[in-house]
A = this chain, B = another copy of it.
Amino acid sequence: MATLKDVAKETGLTVSTVSRVLNNRGYISEETRKKVYEAMKKLNYRPNEVARSLSKQTTNTIGVIVPHIRHPYFAELISNLESQAYHYDHKILLFNSQEKNEKEWEYMEMCTSNRVAGVILCSGTVGVEKFTGLNVPLITIERYLENGTAEVECDNEQGGRLAAQHLIDCGCKHLIHISGVHETAMPADARAVGFRAVCEKQKVSYQIADTTAFEYNHLEYHQILEKLLKENPDTDGIFASSDLIAAQLLQVCHKLSIDVPSQMKIVGFDDVNIASLTTPPITTIHQPIKEMAKMAVELLVRSGNGELVPNRTTLPVSLVVRETT
């Protein structure tokens, strides 16, 4: 591969002049600039970003750690993070933690060894004490860590309220909320808080059904959903904590000959592609994933520039009515 020296030799200029052209430093005549670019093109020279990074002691790479890549919510989130990073001339190093503590931790170390500009963590089993001394901006999405990090989340409690109110407005009398993994504290737990508040205020019968890490890790809920429906035959409205769960619930209702929406109304959460791809398409709570990704990248860049950034940023959600209610 051609080096800076080769370009200098080709042009008859010194290495330091060529370097000044590349880094746009000091006065350079138009003629010299043109000569350097022509030589670069001829020799197929590409600046060595690794060497540049070494002198800057950082790269323009963002480490992104997610628990699942194939989960439609994270696929959508990664897609948006990539395009926002591109906007800031940053790249994405992608890691799949499978929500495993040791993998998360290993990835955090790989990120710092590779001198990333910062880490966006969307997977949260690692305790906050692990993050001291990492010396890179750490932004979490939908994972709150108590100390020294900035978190971006959607208004989960509002989502729970909107879902409960909508099901009640549709005439449902016996509600269930299928919530997230019960061992892990996540901002998503606030969905149950909002849901419960509305049900209690309006005196509608409800229950909160927890799922386990097993279902979450395997993205597979059919069994637990079938059991839930059989044990609660009165249920006429369900708020699922993801569109993925809602789609599987639609299949279970079909299997048990429960018609949606006439006998059972369903509200999902996330508003990712799967919500519009089922038959009937799913009424859901829209998470502003694009805006959350944008905010996370912005906070990372600003934090890297030494700016003080908010440690918690909450974006509003909204109800999208489709055909399951």
A residues with a Cβ closer than 8 A to B are: 1, 44, 46-51, 53-54, 57, 59, 61, 68-70, 72, 75-76, 78-79, 82-83, 86, 91-96, 109-110, 112-115, 133, 135, 219, 244, 247-248, 250-251, 254, 272-274, 277-281
Contacts and interface: CB of A to CB of B under 8 A. Distances in A.
A204 to B, nearest CB: 28
A104 to B, nearest CB: 13
A80 to B, nearest CB: 9
Contacts of A112: 46
A46 B95 CA distance: 19
- Please give the count of copies of this chain that the complex contains: 2
A115 B46 CA distance: 10
A273 B72 contact: yes
A60 to B, nearest CB: 9
Given A91-B95, A277-B247, A79 B72 contact: no
A133 B274 CA distance: 42
A273 B274 CA distance: 9
A252 to B, nearest CB: 9
Contacts of A109: 46
A50 to B, nearest CB: 5
Contact of A83 (B48, B57, B96, B274): B96
